[in-house]
Amino acid sequence: MDSEQISSSNANQMNCDLGTQHYATQLGSYDEMYASRGKVQPYWENFMASLEKMGGEELARRRQEAQRILRDNGVTYNVYADSKTQARPWQLDPVPLLISSEEWDKIAAGLVQRAELFNLILQDVYGEQNLLKKRLVPIELIYGHEGFLRPCVGSLKASHQKLFIYSADLARGPDGRMWALGNRTQAPSGAGYALENRIVMTRVLPDLFRDAHVHRLSGFFRSFRSGLANLAAHNKDFPRIVVLTPGSLNETYFEHAYLSSHLGYTLVQGDDLTVRDGRVWLKSLQGLHQVDVILRRVDDSFCDPLELRSSSRLGVAGILEAVRRGNVTIANPLGSSVLENNGLLAFLPRLARYFLNQELLLPSVATWWCGQKRECDFVLQNLDRMVIKAVNRSAMKRTVFGSQLSRQEKENLRAMILAKPHLFVGQEKVGFSTVPAFVGGHIEPRNAILRNFVIAGDNGYEAMPGGLTRIAKERDTFVVSNQEGGLSKDTWVLADKPEHEVSLWLKPRRNQLVEPVFEPLPSRAADNLYWVGRNLERSESAARLMRTVLQNILENLDTTDVNFKCRHVLLKALTQVTVTYPGFIRGDESLLNKPETELL
């Protein structure tokens, strides 16, 4: 998950209790619990009263219980820069973000509108390219972005929806209005973590969850499954859907495995698939199985070493040709990362009027693309008040805040922008809202970002009721990022009345025989299982032999030559079985007579 900008502001440094009377909001920022200064939102007041009744010690115990559940479930987030341990346990704050149903309806409408808009932009960029021909979007902005893949032009067949899943990072400004900070269209991550957060919260705070009448997530994931099935061009009744992952070293690998298991799909890597006769096949112990839909979590340029990045070992050679022939559907389509171009934010209002004849319901943060001279001059003249980003996410590892740079760093940044202005954007530095968090045994505010998810369901786009909320690790921190040690929250969209539970799985009718469905075992997984079995077999043999040796030493006090010869044979056999040479094989009589050190 990527870092996003969060404004700094001075905060009142005072200890907080679980009640709202000692809650110290940050000066000059909007707080989610206080709609206006000095007045708590009614639903927050009820929730905080329940926490106050529970007490800080009990809440701390439940937070520990939540972390135990997450640890037992193996929920991790891989941190690339951590030299001590790569797999970091997932961190969950027990105080959720609360959003009223009325406010959520407005946010969801804005998210659906943005998903429809980006879907139309994607189809045009890889189709007729009217946006470029009519100069509604500068050519340099699209062709100069690393996410634009020329081999993918014309690969999208005619259909209503191409962009299956869309995600936006949202934050509330000082005026209380939600703003979109960025868009995720390539392989949006976080939906699985949001689901796991929800499951854990229902176990550690069941009474509060029930009394709050929270909108459930099961309906969203049911639409997720049916939407993926609708993407299949062939075998529509029983399509074979797989989740393509880069592997266990990816930062969100847990989510890949979790979603594939929860949705009932096969988790595969590039080596598990092959392309033959223009079709994608899954290699398994039972032979080849045709794949109809691929939910990819691999960056699009790595998916096909034949036509895209030739050095990639993560993809499948020839998969783009299978897409062109309409024999497989990839969600999201290859090349969709061009929509993550930060420069597009400056042109979205114009594109919304062109495609939808509407104004944006959910505006973006004010953005100036430096590829235009007037905008570039404005950014350079106001570096102290700007947040500088690259149009390509990989070009700059972190967001640059002009106010934090030294004089020499500003000059270096200015030179970089002037050398290639079309690769940079400047964004307005604004203050974003804070949310209550349980830190150090009390409640205090933390800057937050809400990541939402929209999928193409049976009846158009549908937004997840809630999402993944991330908060800063420290108070007054500029960056909210899991890579920087940020925490996560569950997001509760509150309904007026209890919501009927919707199961992800269809229940069989009475007297209906349900046939078991067995997903094929990929040959790579079968090979791994084989060697796991072999190594378990070796471990068991070594353990049995070690036990026999120890029993001989501890229980047999006979000092006859026969017993010593028997022990020596056992000790040498132990070295052979465990392959710990030279060990007892070297013939050292003193080691054979006093084997404790070598045994340890």
| pLDDT for the residue 479 | 61
- Main-chain phi, psi angles of 10, to 5 degrees: -70, 140
Q: How many CB atoms lie within 10 A of CB 221?
A: 20
Q: What is the pLDDT of residues 234-274, one digit of tens each?
A: 888 889 999 999 998 898 999 999 999 999 999 999 999 99
Which residues contact residue 405 at a Cβ distance below 8 angstroms, ignoring those fewer than 6 apart?
383, 413
Give the Cα separation of 315 and 321 in Å (integer).
13
> What was the pLDDT predicted at 37?
60
Q: Is the pLDDT of residue 10 over 70?
A: no
- Secondary element (H or E) of residue 338: none
d(CA 205, CA 494): 15
CA distances from 577 to 537, 570, 580, 583 (A): 11, 10, 8, 11
What confidence score (pLDDT) does residue 594 get? 85
Chain centroid, CA 543 distance in Å: 40
512 pLDDT band, cuts 50/70/90, is low
| CATH architecture observed for domain 366-429 | 2-Layer Sandwich (3.30)
Residue-wise over 14-23: b if at least 16 C-beta within 10 A, else e? eebebebeeb
Tell me the pairing of strands 487-494 and 97-100. Answer: parallel
Is residue 5 within 8 Å of 427, Cβ to Cβ?
Answer: yes
Which of the four pLDDT bands, split at 50, 70 and 90, describes residue 449? very high
The answer for residues whose C-beta is within 8 angstroms of residue 47's C-beta and 6 or more apart is 98, 208, 212
Confidence of residue 161 (pLDDT cuts 50, 70, 90): low
CB of 136 closer than 8 Å to CB of 151: no
Name the β-bridge partners of 268.
Answer: 244
Contact indicator for 334, 318 with CB cutoff of 8 Å? no
Work out the pLDDT band at 162, boundaries 50, 70, 90: confident
C-alpha to C-alpha distance for 240 and 268, rounded to whole angstroms: 12
Q: How many CB atoms lie within 10 A of CB 70?
A: 20
The tokens describing 36, both together, are 């206006």
Cα distances from 98 to residues 45, 369, 465, in angstroms, run 11, 35, 11
pLDDT in tens, 187-245: 999 999 999 999 999 999 999 999 999 999 999 999 999 999 999 988 888 899 999 99
The predicted pLDDT at position 7 comes to 37
Residue 291 neighbours by CB under 8 Å, 6+ apart: 240, 241, 242, 273, 279, 280, 281, 282, 328
Look up the pTM and report it.
0.85
Q: Are the beta carbons of 249 and 293 closer than 8 angstroms? A: no
Instruction: Report the pLDDT value the prediction gives residue 566, as an integer from 0 to 100.
Output: 87
Find where tokens 């079309």 sit: 422
Least confident of 257-266, 315-324, 496-505, 535-544: 496-505
CB atoms within 10 A of CB 575: 16
In the chain, domain spans? 4-364+432-494, 366-429, 538-599
For residue 499, pLDDT over 80 is answered with no
Alpha-carbon span 362 to 583, nearest angstrom: 70
Is the preceding peptide bond at 582 cis, omega within 30 degrees of 0? yes
Nearest CA to 240 among 283, 187, 303?
283
Separation between Cα atoms, residue 241 and residue 592, nearest integer Å? 59
Residue in 13, 10, 24, 8 with CA at minimum distance from that of residue 444: 24
Edge-to-edge strands, sheet with 424-428: 367-369, 424-428, 386-390, 400-401
List C-alpha distances in Å: 67 to 72, 93, 261, 469, 567: 8, 9, 21, 17, 48
User: Whole-angstrom Cα distance, residue 281 to residue 288?
Assistant: 6
Among all chains, which residue has been given the structure tokens 């010593």? 564
DSSP for 48-112, written as a single string: HHHHHHH-HHHHHHHHHHHHHHHHHTT-EEE-TT-SS-SEEEP-B-SSPEEEEHHHHHHHHHHHH
Is 556 in a helix, a strand, or coil?
coil
Q: What angle do CA 447, 13, 383 make, to 5 degrees?
A: 50
Query: Which of 85-99, 391-405, 534-548, 569-583 has the lowest average pLDDT?
Result: 391-405
Per-residue pLDDT band at 156 (split at 50, 70, 90): confident
Query: Which token pair is 262?
Result: 């929860």
Closest CA to 218 of 515, 497, 466, 487: 466
- Say what the pLDDT of residue 56 is: 87
Residues 342-355 have pLDDT tens digits of 999 999 999 999 99
449-471: b (≥16 Cβ within 10 Å) or e: bbbbbbbbbeeebbbbbbbbbbb
Mean pLDDT of the chain: 86
Burial class (CB in 10 A: 0-12, 13-18, 19+), 114: buried
Neighbours of 423 (CB within 10 A): 23
The kind and range of the H/E element at 362 are none
Pairing of strands 293-296, 329-331: parallel
